[in-house]
Amino acid sequence: MATLHLHSVLPNPTSFKSTKATTSTRRRLLANSVRCAEATQVTGETQRVTVRNGNDSLDIGRVLNGMWQTSGGWGRIDRDDAVEAMLRYADAGLSTFDMADHYGPAEDLYGIFINRVRQERPPEFLEKVRGLTKWVPPPVKMTSSYVRDSINVSRKRMDVASLDMLQFHWWDYANTGYLDALKHLTDLKEEGKIKTVALTNFDTERLQIILENEIPVVSNQVQHSIVDMRPQQKMAELCQLTGVKLITWSMPGEDGVSFNLCFRHSQGIASKHGATIPNVAVKYILDQQAVAGSMIGVRLGLSEHIQDSNAVFSLTLDEDDISSIQEVTKKGKNLLKVIGDCGDEYRRA
């Protein structure tokens, strides 16, 4: 397989906003945008959304169960209790689970869970369950056999013939092996080993390069919150053009002043609607341009927030709420300048 090089894409693609794409480039991106947008739609009471690129599509929950807390540091996870908790989340309609190859036993827990679903739930229930995982390889040479062997580990652990979504992370942009890895992942998708290929923590520049190399990614998972609005400053524009969607996660981050200000304002909005602060924060992000879904961490078998998570779908933020939040976000630091673009927090020198 030939190696893909940066010279095959736009010259000096420093940022989407500052780069004026050629006519042919924009035509390709716009054509892809049409294919993506045709099936990117919210269904039900905004509880599910379909992400698509070309012929690849997957419907997922707009609120996803983030399983990073199985990786350690948040309390001991009991396997049986965790799987029972996963069943309760799925029974309540929260049936999209997000995990990674390095989240401790997350993929193994999903494998046990999905077998319980196959045995104990009707076929139509199984059709709504989704398992999204991530592959975070070391910066070694991305050969076809290496990529295949790595993905087979996740398929075996999750006990599925085809991964619903494989979200790919890469540590060092100077190493262009990420394009080789994504090409091999696309080959595995064509073989039916993966249903959709996606990204996690990639920046706007690299997302554009990947799309210019005609790699059909459907989404990019990035940090995005009331405090961290970086995706709306840069990446959302490219996503709107191409149809690629954002799956978001959040944490307080480094700007403590902004976090405290947003907390106080969100508290007032939450009280007004009889909701919680997390409800307000998640709903505000779900309403942002290009966002398909937002993750809420689950401490499986330790604590549950099923009712609180589902309450997001009945919350509507009015113009006063939105204006109030926007006024606060303007007072915070410009994290795009402090941290960099999406994912740069993982690539600091």
**Main-chain dihedrals φ then ψ at residue 98, nearest 5 degrees:** -110, 130
Give 291's contacts (C-beta < 8 A, 6+ positions apart). Answer: 224, 231, 245, 246, 247, 248, 285
| Burial of 308 per CB tally in 10 Å (0-12, 13-18, 19+) | middle
What pTM was estimated for this model as a whole? 0.86
Amino acid 275: pLDDT: 93
Note whether 201 and 222 are within 8 A (CB).
yes
Q: Which of 263, 256, 298 is nearest to 277 (CA)?
A: 263
CA 60 to CA 46: how far, in whole Å? 11
List phi, psi (to 5°) of 282: -70, -45
User: What gap in Å lies between CA 344 and CA 115, rounded to an integer?
Assistant: 38
Beta bridge partners of 247: 221, 293
pLDDT tens track of the chain, all 349 residues? 333 222 233 333 344 443 434 445 555 555 554 444 433 444 444 799 999 999 999 999 999 999 999 987 777 889 999 999 999 999 999 999 999 999 999 999 999 999 999 999 999 999 999 999 999 999 899 999 999 999 999 999 999 999 999 999 999 999 999 999 999 999 999 999 999 999 999 999 999 999 999 999 999 999 999 889 999 999 999 999 999 999 999 864 444 555 566 777 788 999 999 999 989 999 999 999 999 999 999 999 888 999 999 999 999 999 999 999 998 888 777 889 999 999 998 887 5
Of 278, 294, 306, the C-alpha closest to 84 is 306
Q: What angle do CA 168, 170, 171 make, to 5 degrees?
A: 150
Contact 19, 12 (CB under 8 A): yes
Q: What angle do CA 263, 264, 268 make, to 5 degrees?
A: 110
Q: Return the amino acid letter for 175.
A: N
Tokens at residue 26, please? 């924009």
Sign of CA dihedral 194, 195, 196, 199: negative
Cβ atoms 212, 170 nearer than 8 A? no
Round to whole Å and give the CA distance between 245 and 320. Answer: 27
Helices within 11-61 (DSSP H only): 23-39
Q: How many CA atoms lie within 13 A of 278 on its CB side?
A: 15
- Write the burial class of residue 143 (CB in 10 Å: 0-12 exposed, 13-18 middle, 19+ buried): middle
Query: What pLDDT is recorded for position 7?
Result: 26
Homologous superfamily, domain 52-346: NADP-dependent oxidoreductase domain (3.20.20.100)
DSSP code per residue over 246-303: EEEE----S-HHHHHHHHHHHHHHHHHHT--HHHHHHHHHHTSTTEEEEEEE--TTT-
Query: How much is the pLDDT for 32?
Result: 52
Question: What distance in Å separates the CA atoms of residue 135 and residue 169, rounded to the nearest whole number?
Answer: 6
